[in-house]
Amino acid sequence: MKRAIVSLAAVALVACCGVRPTEVLDGGAPASGIPEGMRIYFASDKGLRGVSRPDKEITDLAAAVKLVIAGPNEAELAAGLTDLTAVTGEFSASAAEGQVTVRLPRTPVTGVAGMAAGQLVCSLSRAESLQHGTRPDAVRVTVVAQGGTVGPYQCSQFLGG
């Protein structure tokens, strides 16, 4: 009998725990696709990180290069982002059918290696996507610099763990 009373008390305690049933909540539409607007890429100690520049209109591919070499803003610097590109002097960028070529005649090819190349490749891939509707993962970027050519690269080669 004592065991039955203890069991009944335990069941009553669990049943009255104060959690009320709720109906299903609508969480809204799932995220889909690529975020709108321009994204540029900077280096961090964990690899490349894309940052949004929704207020910047990309009228040509050179505008994307200008955004990269302008560097991170104060908040991005505080978060550990940096620009590793060593772009100096004039430059140009052009595209044809998802093939982007950026020309940096006064920048040594060593200034656009590793993550620095990734910054340009990923930023230009995004710009090409915005301008011509090319899927970012289908864009290939070649960098022609002083002393050599690197690429063609895809952004995915610089992202991921």
Q: In this structure, are residues 39 and 53 in contact, taking their beta carbons and an 8 Å threshold?
A: yes
Q: Does residue 98 lie within any of the structural domains?
A: yes
Q: Is residue 11 part of a domain?
A: no
Read off the tokens for 81.
């982002």
CA–CA distance, 115 with 118 (Å, rounded to integer): 5
Print pLDDT tens along the chain (161 aa): 666 565 655 555 555 555 555 555 555 444 445 556 789 999 999 999 999 988 888 888 999 999 998 999 999 999 999 999 888 888 999 999 899 999 999 888 888 888 999 999 999 999 999 888 888 889 999 999 999 999 999 999 998 75
The number of folded domains in the chain is 1
Show the tokens assigned to 84.
């590793």
Dihedral in degrees, nearest 10, Cα atoms 89, 121, 116, 59: 40
1: in domain: no
What pLDDT score was predicted for residue 31?
A: 46
Residue 65 lies in domain = 37-157
Cβ neighbours, 10 Å, residue 64: 27
3-class secondary structure, 13: helix
Distance CA 123, CA 105 (A): 19
Residue 107 domain flag: yes
Q: Is residue 12 part of a domain?
A: no
Residue 117 maps to a domain: yes
| Whole-number pLDDT of residue 30 | 47
Cβ–Cβ under 8 Å, residues 94 and 127:
no
Residue 49 lies in a domain: yes
Token pair for 22: 């709720």
Dihedrals φ, ψ of 90, to 5°? -75, 165
Burial profile 49-58: b = 16 or more Cβ within 10 angstroms, e = fewer: bbbebeebeb
With respect to residue 23, please indicate whether it lies within any of the assigned structural domains: no
Determine phi and psi for 40, rounding to 5 degrees.
Answer: -120, 160
